[in-house]
Structure 1
Amino acid sequence: MPCTVSTDFTAQLPLDVGLRDTASFDSFCSGRNRELVDRLKATILDPDHCADPGGHQGSQIYLWGEAGCGKTHLLQALCGLASQRGHSAVYLPLDAHQHGVQWLEDVDRLSLVCIDDLQAIAGQRLWETALFTLGDRVRERAGSWVVAGDVSPKGLSLTMPELESRLARGLIYRVLGLNDEDRSQAVRLRAQQRGLELSDEVIRYVLSRYPRDTVALFELLDRLDRASLASGRRVTIPFLRELDGG
């Protein structure tokens, strides 16, 4: 899936940036983030009721949370939903900001702009200025601007107070990690999407023996999917032990 759903805009973006096929709201275990998920979906599904706190049309939302909590998944799911509804949208991860601030040129004309990894450019005045200008232009055009970082706007150590103020002016959500029950549900949901049948016993084993952050767990499921297909075997605890050389 391309990172932008505006067909005349694709050539301006680096080819190595894209949306994961698995990134959708259906594949996201909301857990304690139900209000956030509903608000993000309403950005596309009910835009007339999504004016920002200042009364301007369009949405400005800032997401923050630790690595692996689902920020990237949510941004990409939002772009995917926009695509399905015929809206122009772009996903820009700033950890790839070596492409230069020209990466941001003209994206303000799109309906939805999703910026990931804001912390990657914190302290770089040129980038902060470019993002502040982008936010203003998106707002002027009644578009939606959704930004994610690993900490709250106040904790970003930005050199430009105007950008911090701009981010704080919109809605701010902390993306909360999953509890044990939600994590089990997330593993089961992702496994089903991969066509894997995992018993409750196998899921408990996975959660007790492997890293528990969702990124690592989903990478494990991808690995299990490939191994299961190659061997023609179901995923069982003995199969897992063999796979790990135990």
Structure 2
Amino acid sequence: MTEKPRQLALDLPVDAGLDVEDFLVSASNEAAFDVLERWPDWPDSVLLLIGPPGSGKSHCAAIWAKRSHAWTVARAALRLPDVPHLASAGALVIEDCDAMQGQEDALFHLLNIARERKSSLLLTARTPPSDWGLATADLLSRLRLAPTATLGEPDDALVRAVLVKMFIERQLVVDTSVVEYLALRIDRSIAAAQAVVETLDREGLARGRRITRPLAAEILKIRDGDEPG
């Protein structure tokens, strides 16, 4: 039998919303999300948002930035001469602060100015400040005094909900058995869910097949090296 030719799978952009209505709340993120929602009634001008990769830190930060009209600055772009200008925004997000080596002076100065001007500052990181390897004792001391909102690893319910949301965003109709099968076998992270949905979408289109549980099983075996890819 002649094998069905593979179709060309176009890598079209997918609108993955980062608005508040796109955020899926579960037991693993509810407490941290509630803290962000209480702004501007924060106990301090600085808030640390801590969570493992794929826990939704960037999504939470984007929601808060939109609500507070904050500027979002890449950690690598934080420089000491720019601190007064950044602090003038009134609200600021800096992500990946656990990789702050070489920019400790800038962050220390920013924390001081933010508190003086009562500006709101949201810092995201994978781990608490004590694990950042900071060489500046005064900076570590100030960060330890800042309130912390913690995101846990996505629970099973959240992984299932994220998978469903991502299939819908790609206008893919799948059976609930596919979602259940994937949720039990992928890493519990939003990044892992996104990666497997993207792969299934691409393979389903290339093969001209619906996304079924057998196809999902085949793709996971190839990914895990159980079969030649």
Task: Name the TM-score, length of structure 1 as normaliser.
Answer: 0.71
Q: How does 1:172-191 map to 2 (within 5 A)?
A: 172-191=148-167
Q: Which structure 1 residue ranges, 5 or more long, are not aligned? A: 1-19, 54-58
Shift of 1:107: 1.1
Q: 1:93 to 1:216 in 2, by over 3 A?
A: farther
Task: Determine which of 48, 56, 68 is the counterpart of 1:62.
Answer: 48
Q: How does 1:169-208 map to 2 (within 5 A)?
A: 169-208=145-184
Distance 1:103 1:227 in 2: 46
Q: 1:104 to 1:189 in 2, by over 3 A?
A: farther
> What residue number does 1:213 align with?
189
Distance 2:198 2:144 in 1: 37
Shift of 1:232: 6.5
Task: Determine which of 30, 37, 48 is the counterpart of 2:33.
Answer: 37
Indicate the SS of the match to 1:145: strand
> What residue number does 2:11 align with?
none
Task: Determine which of 78, 83, 88 is the counterpart of 2:64.
Answer: 78
Percent identical: 25
Per-residue CA deviation, residues 27-46 of structure 1 (Å, 9 max, x unaligned), is 23322221211221232xxx
Question: Aligned AA for 2:72?
Answer: Y
> What residue number does 1:112 align with?
91
Asked if 1:52 is matched to 2:43, the reply is yes
Distance 1:208 1:75 in 2: 28
Q: 1:21 to 1:185 in 2, by over 3 A?
A: closer
Task: Determine which of 15, 20, 23 is the counterpart of 1:25.
Answer: 20
Shift of 1:118: 0.9
Task: Name the TM-score, length of structure 2 as normaliser.
Answer: 0.75
Shift of 1:242: 6.2
Distance 1:243 1:166 in 2: 48
Question: Aligned AA for 1:164?
Answer: L
Larger radius of gyration, structure 1 or 2? 2
- The CA RMSD measured in Å over matched residues stands at 2.8
Which has the bigger relative contact order, CA under 8 A and spacing at least 6?
2
> What residue number does 1:163 align with?
139
Question: Aligned AA for 1:52?
Answer: P
Task: Determine which of 87, 92, 111 is the counterpart of 2:73.
Answer: 92
Asked if 1:128 is matched to 2:104, the reply is yes
For this pair of structures, how many residues does the alignment match?
A: 207
Task: Determine which of 127, 147, 152 is the counterpart of 2:123.
Answer: 147
Indicate the SS of the match to 1:26: helix
Distance 2:126 2:42 in 1: 25
Shift of 1:149: 1.5
Shift of 1:108: 0.7
Q: 1:99 to 1:106 in 2, by over 3 A?
A: closer
Deviates more, 1:102-111 or 1:145-154: 102-111
Question: Aligned AA for 2:43?
Answer: D
